[in-house]
Amino acid sequence: MNDSLTTEVAGVRLKNPFIAASGTAGYIHDAPQILSLPSFGGAVTKTLTLLPKEGNPQPRVWETASGILNSIGLENCGVDSFVKEHLPRLRITADLVVFVSVGGEDPNQLCTVLERLAPYTQHFDSLELNLSCPNIKSKSMISQSPSRTERVVQLAKSILPKTPIFVKLTPRVSDILKISEAALEAGANGLVLTNTHPALALDRRTLKPALGGVFGGLSGAAVKPLTLFTVFTVYQALRCPIIASGGVCDESDAIEALAAGAAAVQLGTANLVNPGAIDELVENLKRNLAQRGFSSLKELVGFAHQP
Amino acid sequence: MKRVKSKVLANLRCADDAFILRLDVQNSAHSAMPGQFLMLHIPNGRTFLRRPFSIADSEGGEITLLIREVGEGTRSLRALKENTPLDIIFPLGRGFSIPHADKVLLVAGGIGVSPLIFLIKFLRARGISTTLVFGADTARHLYLSDHLERLCNRTVFVTEDASSTGRGTAVDAAAKLLEQGERFDFLYTCGPTPMLRAVSELAKKFHLEGEASLESRMLCGIGVCLACSFKIENGRRLKICSEGPVLPLSAL
């Protein structure tokens, strides 16, 4: 292990800053070898809901200029099956930090999921509360409302008081600071900034929505400047633990996100397009840091804010 | 399943809308089975999502793809020169099973013939008799028909515009063979999903077991992203990329 790449976000220690994003690592133990998951600092499970979800109709993905629209629709096996089939097998190596992602539209159902997980906290290190999936049918996402965000985080914290909780927010709000503050004041240990951007693609031939679920979430290189904007803004105002998510494709992107204020970064789209690239990214990051004269990753976090 | 640095060995037009791409995979320890596929990165500087392609042949460190030009990505592939490096992930998915059989029926629709070409070669090497029913909209799109005629024990070509010997669809022609009392031990099919469902019905009617190779839009191709999730007959969902693309006909 190379210590210069270790990082800590809200007390969660990672051997390197790369985290495999939710939906790109399956349920961790079942991820194909080609992904090289053990080389990541951490990995997030597919988002869990109370009941199994079938997800959205096809097509579920659409390529756009430097980005992807996805509308998977939270297809997952439901918490009961997860607890039985996957939870005891999440720890594939001693040093891969395991994040369980929990989401859904209904706060009560979401809390029930957390209650079902509560007796088994030894199997995971941290919780990612997905309050921002754009591909579900409700009128708004929980993280579009400061009061709903606050309430859900408070409940989550009361159910899992000892588990570090990261709240994954949507960028589609008028004031990201208000939502961030609400989450943190309610007890969130950190923020994941951000989920995909609600977006639309039309099929050029038919001029109808390209995705079966009509709208999708935009990710990939196209959204990196938007992620940097959000991370920078929130770090500047709140100096809180942040995991950047959105458009990080290589080590240079990761360095920028860290400089903007993130302490770790998620790889999503990049992970799906170039599975296994992580090993090279880790090496490149090490070299790039040395070339820039940083002796550790920690010196880099928030660098863009220094005078 | 491995990421492999490949290169173009040959790029040949074989129909007004299709071409053959031969790739070098010498440096891969893996070889493909009929029905498996690869994910290919199109080096045109614009498309960055990999695209899935069936493997039409695999032998001696080479892979052959039969590709129909349908959009920007496949047009870019047609323009690739010899020796262009290509970044591929292969072999992917579950291929066809090879049953103990004397005589099999293969039903192809359009570009769906691609994985069946490899399969036919494989079956023939095992002494299994192959009857191919191949349907397309027009005779020009009965890809590699001369080659297939030589490769199979029997071929039936049909087109919707009657520009070939028979008029109609591959499903109609296959039904006719079965109704005439011809017996087969197993059935394979590949083509558009509605066609596969019709073939599945046909197989059920004639108590014939078989397999279908499904086509799907994919993102990762390795069983992670759920872009290709497909609901099978019993309500369960499968990932076409990793639990398919070949499924039992009864699952459709």
CB nearest to B49's CB, from A34, A35, A273 = A273
Note the pLDDT of residue A2.
52
From residue A266, alpha-carbon distances to A139, A140, A217, A233, B53 in Å are 27, 24, 16, 18, 29
Q: Which helix (H) or strand (E) holds B78?
A: helix B72-78
User: Is pLDDT of B38 > 70?
Assistant: yes
Cβ–Cβ of A63/B49 closer than 8 Å?
yes
Note the pLDDT of residue B28.
74
Contacts of A46 in chain B (CB under 8 A): 226
Tell me the pLDDT tens digit for each residue of A170-199. Answer: 999 999 999 999 999 999 999 999 999 999
Greater confidence, A65 or A266? A266
Q: What DSSP state is assigned to residue B161?
A: T
Greater confidence, B162 or A79? A79
Tell me the pLDDT tens digit for each residue of B94-111. Answer: 999 998 999 999 999 999
CA distance A16 to B229: 32
Q: What DSSP state is assigned to residue B133?
A: E
Contacts of B30 in chain A (CB under 8 A): none
Phi, psi of B99 (to 5 degrees): -80, 165
User: Is pLDDT of B186 > 50?
Assistant: yes
Tell me the pLDDT tens digit for each residue of A292-303. Answer: 999 999 999 999
3-class secondary-structure state, position B152:
coil
Phi, psi of B53 (to 5 degrees): -135, 135
Mean pLDDT, range B197-206, rounded to an integer: 97
Kindly report whether the peptide bond that precedes residue A88 is cis, defined as omega within 30 degrees of 0. no
Cβ–Cβ of B48/A60 closer than 8 Å?
no
pLDDT band with cut points at 50, 70 and 90 for residue B234: confident
Q: Compute the nearest-CA separation of B87 from chain A (Å).
A: 10
Q: Average pLDDT of chain B?
A: 95
From residue A79, alpha-carbon distances to A113, A164, A230 in Å are 6, 19, 31
CA distance B155 to B121: 14
Phi, psi of A268 (to 5 degrees): -120, -85
In chain A, what percentage of residues exceed pLDDT 70?
98
Query: For chain A, what is the HEC assignment?
Result: CCHHHCEEECCEEECCCEEECCCCCCCCCCCCHHHCHHHCCEEECCCECCCCECCCCCCCEEEECCEEEECCCCCECCHHHHHHHHHHHCCCCCCCEEEEEEECCCHHHHHHHHHHHHHHHHHCCEEEEECCCCCCCCCCCHHHCHHHHHHHHHHHHHHCCCCCEEEEECCCCCCHHHHHHHHHHCCCCEEEECCCEEEECECCCCCCECECCEEEEEECHHHHHHHHHHHHHHHHHHCCCEEEECCCCCHHHHHHHHHHCCCEEEECHHHHHCCCCHHHHHHHHHHHHHHHCCCCHHHCCCHHHCC
Note the pLDDT of residue A135.
66
CB atoms within 10 A of CB A5: 18
Cβ–Cβ of A32/B48 closer than 8 Å?
no
Contacts of A54 in chain B (CB under 8 A): 231, 237
CA distance B214 to A237: 51
CA distance B235 to A52: 12
User: Is pLDDT of A260 > 80?
Assistant: yes
Q: Look up tokens 């558009």; give the residue.
A: B192
pLDDT band with cut points at 50, 70 and 90 for residue A138: low
Note the pLDDT of residue A137.
64
Contacts of A65 in chain B (CB under 8 A): 46
pLDDT band with cut points at 50, 70 and 90 for residue B44: very high
Q: Compute the nearest-CA separation of A81 from chain B (Å).
A: 14
Q: Is B59 exposed, middle or buried (0-12, 13-18, 19+ CB in 10 A)?
A: exposed
CA distance A102 to B221: 25
Interface test with A, best of B70, B226, B232, B238 (most A CBs within 10 A): B226
Q: Which residues of A246-264 are buried (b: 16+ CB within 10 A; e: fewer)?
A: bbbbbbebbbbbbbbbbbb
User: Is pLDDT of A1 > 80?
Assistant: no
Tell me the pLDDT tens digit for each residue of A73-124. Answer: 999 999 999 999 999 999 999 999 999 999 988 899 999 999 999 999 999 9
CB nearest to A59's CB, from B50, B217, B224 = B217
Interface residues of B toward A, Cβ cutoff 8 Å, are: 1-3, 41, 46-50, 89, 216-220, 222-229, 231, 237, 242
Q: Compute the nearest-CA separation of B33 from chain A (Å).
A: 19
Cβ–Cβ of A61/B219 closer than 8 Å?
yes
Helix axis angle, A107-117 to A146-159, nearest 10°:
20
Q: Reduced to 3 DSSP states, what percent helix, strand and coil does chain B have, rounded to the nearest 5?
A: 25, 35, 40
Q: What DSSP state is assigned to residue B124?
A: H
Note the pLDDT of residue B60.
87
Between A137-141, A237-241, B131-135, the lowest mean confidence (pLDDT) is in: A137-141
Q: Compute the nearest-CA separation of B132 from chain A (Å).
A: 31
In chain B, what percentage of residues exceed pLDDT 90?
90
Contacts of B93 (CB under 8 A, 6+ apart): B35, B36, B37, B221, B240, B241, B242, B244, B245, B246
Question: Is the CB of residue B72 less than 8 Å from the CB of residue B45?
Answer: no
CB nearest to A31's CB, from B47, B48, B224 = B224
Q: Look up tokens 């290919």; give the residue.
A: B40
Helix axis angle, A224-238 to A176-185, nearest 10°:
50
CA distance B196 to B204: 12
Interface test with B, best of A29, A272, A274, A280 (most B CBs within 10 A): A272
Interface test with B, best of A24, A28, A34 (most B CBs within 10 A): A34
CB nearest to B50's CB, from A24, A25, A273 = A273
Note the pLDDT of residue A146.
95
Compare all CA atoms of chain A with the CA of B238 and give the residue at the minimum distance.
A54
Tell me the pTM: 0.95
CB nearest to A61's CB, from B2, B48, B227 = B227
Q: Average pLDDT of chain A?
A: 95
Note the pLDDT of residue B250.
94
Residue A133 annotated among the catalytic residues of the structure: yes
Closest residue by Cα to residue A24 from A42, A8, A51, A6: A42
Cβ–Cβ of B237/A75 closer than 8 Å?
yes
Cβ–Cβ of B49/A61 closer than 8 Å?
yes
Q: Which amino acid is at A236?
A: Q
CA distance B146 to A279: 47
DSSP-assigned beta bridge partners for residue A62: A69
From the candidates A77, A111, A133, A249, which is the catalytic residue? A133
Task: Write out the two tokens for A278.
Answer: 């992580």
